[in-house]
Amino acid sequence: MKIRGTPGVFMGSMVGALLTAALIAVFYAGWRLADLPFVPFDVFDWTTRILPGTLIEFAISAMVAIIRGLHLGPTSVVAKFIEQAMGIVGLFITGVVAGAVVFGVLRALRGRYAYVSGFFLGLLAAIPAVLISSFLGKIAVTPPLVSAVWILFVFVSWGMSFGVAYLRLSDLSVSVDRDSGLQPSVQRVSRRKFLIRLAGFTATITVSGAMVGLLSERHSRMKLASLMPWSATHVLPNAGAAVKPALGTRPEYTPLERHYRIDINTTPPKIDGMMWRLKIGGLVEKPLSMTLDDIRRYDPLHQFVTLSCISNPVGGDLIGTTRWTGVSLKSLLPDLGLKSSATHLKISSADGFWETLPLDTIMADERVMLAYAWDGVPLLEDHGFPLRVYIPDVHGMKQPKWIESIEAMDHWEPGYWVVRGWDKVAKMKATSVIDTIAVDMTIISADQRKLVPIGGIAHAGARGISKVELRVDDGPWQTAEIRTPLSQMTWVIWRYDWPFEPGKHTFTVRCYDGSNTPQIVEAMPPAPSGASGLFSKSQKF
């Protein structure tokens, strides 16, 4: 007689795992090679946009705390890796579950409609993916129709593969001799051989797709490495400052590859600089469209700037300093043809991020700028190419990247993160940090005392720093030396040479902003208005 194979839920989940791994690899290769949508990241980004702000706030705080607590590496790099991994794992688990469900349904139907079921599975996955990709609109170099066809083709092929696998496994039946108990094991061996072959096939696709994508990514990094930054050929303006950083203090000028990146995307929007236009509308006499060359024709403004993420805890690494180049928004205003009723500009990004900026702020501060370069090279794709805004004294959450439009309005509207519960003003707080206690670089003073250099940074947005003080254990506050900053808008490097005393000691630092206002002592978490509190570090000598 015949024994008909009836693969079930468990085998379906195995097939789902194999096919979905290949699916992810194909999407990855298409993304890296042809700028086609990478569905796992798109779905993750869409999810974070629709979740409640309180949940996102909790997730951000928890992620930063875990990364810092376990010392996993640079916070922004590790956070992006975790976000991307969550997107990929989410699609993988979905594929495993889909395989189990499809095989369970086909088993109940005795294998009928296998191809139809696979087709509709692919279609069911493709339609929301197409809508999500279209909604995000992060890839501006690929026509929407091409992206939609690509997603439909890949998902339908994936879905149909379930039907093929189910029928193939079901057809692995054998004639069973009534007097032999060996034949069922032959059937199991046949199924095992098929699964091994399927695993080999999907592994080939998975590895090939991953390798193609990684080689493409490596090529992109090589192009980045070929750029010549301003800092490679110029001396910093404070190079001759009398106060030298204590060994172990973070670099005063942050290399581009080490500057933090925090935004609402697993991957940055892909924008064709030649096709990009800055659209200006709303309360204007006539809508405008400006190219990047149009903006570059204005007198360039170069500024050394320290930018910090509002999610940065005291002592965190979500902060960096570099040289920005762009155009003062104040000098651009006369050419925008604003109507007299306009009071605010709504600045919107390609990724759906936006912020509202009062015209009064622009008119009062020439440092507000539309930036198109960092450290003498065009903005990197990860950091806002082709255009981003800089607003002195506020956190990065108020400063859109990948700008595509400016709308003149007669009222204020809450920005992307303000809608989600973060601070309306997001003003940078005065903060000081100990980076190093250089126990291995002691110096001998003129009176033969052994001194231990201690150093770090202090910053207060664009308000500057007037004083930094250090306390050892419960002793008095001692004034530290301050290195001349790169500009009024950057952090300062401070240093204190501490007279050595054996034992375990706790060092605490505090600072005062440019108006001599002391930093906030009360410890507060980053959400919703930025972290505050004194930074302490203990060391045993």
DSSP annotation string for 111-178: TTTHHHHHHHHHHHHHHHHHHHHHHH--B-SS-HHHHHHHHHHHHHHHHHHHHHHHHHHHT---B--T
**Do 396 and 435 belong to one domain?**
no
Question: Where does a domain end: 223, 248, 268?
Answer: 223
Give the domain CATH number at 339.
Answer: 3.90.420.10
**Do 500 and 532 belong to one domain?**
yes
**Do 331 and 441 belong to one domain?**
no
**Do 279 and 167 belong to one domain?**
no
Write out pLDDT tens, residues 111-155. 889 999 999 999 999 999 999 998 887 766 788 899 999 999 999
**Do 216 and 138 belong to one domain?**
yes
The residue to which tokens 């095992």 are assigned: 192
Tally of structural domains, the chain: 3
In a domain, 2, yes or no: no
DSSP string of 477-500, one letter each residue: EEEPEEPPPSSTTS-EEEEEEEEP
Ranges of beta strands (E only) in 418-476 are 431-437, 443-444, 450-459, 465-472
Please tell me the pTM assigned to this model.
0.89
**Do 146 and 108 belong to one domain?**
yes
In a domain, 240, yes or no: no
In a domain, 380, yes or no: yes
Is the sign of the CA dihedral 331, 303, 492, 539 positive or negative? positive
Question: Where does a domain end: 387, 419, 451?
Answer: 419
**Do 408 and 462 belong to one domain?**
no
Q: Residue 448: what pLDDT?
A: 81
In a domain, 233, yes or no: no
Q: Which amino acid is located at 263 in the chain?
A: D
Q: Residue 221: what pLDDT?
A: 59
Peptide bond into 526 cis (omega under 30): no
Q: At what angle do helices 144-170 and 75-108 cross, to 10 degrees?
A: 50
Q: Residue 6: what pLDDT?
A: 76
426 class by beta-carbon count within 10 Å (0-12 exposed, 13-18 middle, 19+ buried): buried
**Do 201 and 67 belong to one domain?**
yes
Write out pLDDT tens, residues 257-305. 899 999 999 999 989 999 999 999 999 999 999 999 999 999 999 999 9
Distance (Å, rounded) from C-alpha 306 to C-alpha 448?
38
Stretches where the chain sits below pLDDT 50 are 1-4, 173-180, 182, 186
In a domain, 1, yes or no: no
Question: Where does a domain end: 393, 419, 445?
Answer: 419
In a domain, 237, yes or no: no
**Do 385 and 476 belong to one domain?**
no
355 and 400 Cβ atoms separated by less than 8 Å: yes
Give the domain CATH number at 462.
Answer: 2.60.40.650
In a domain, 238, yes or no: no
**Do 218 and 271 belong to one domain?**
no
**Do 48 and 174 belong to one domain?**
yes
**Residue 164: which residues within 8 A CB-CB, separation 6 or more?**
114, 115, 118
290 and 308 Cβ atoms separated by less than 8 Å: no
Q: Residue 345: what pLDDT?
A: 98
In a domain, 511, yes or no: yes
Q: Residue 476: what pLDDT?
A: 97
158 and 122 Cβ atoms separated by less than 8 Å: yes
**Do 289 and 380 belong to one domain?**
yes
162 and 123 Cβ atoms separated by less than 8 Å: no
Q: Residue 223: what pLDDT?
A: 57
Distance (Å, rounded) from C-alpha 420 to C-alpha 479?
41
36 lies in which domain range? 9-223
Which tokens in the block code for residue 313?
Answer: 């805890």
Q: Which amino acid is located at 269 in the chain?
A: P
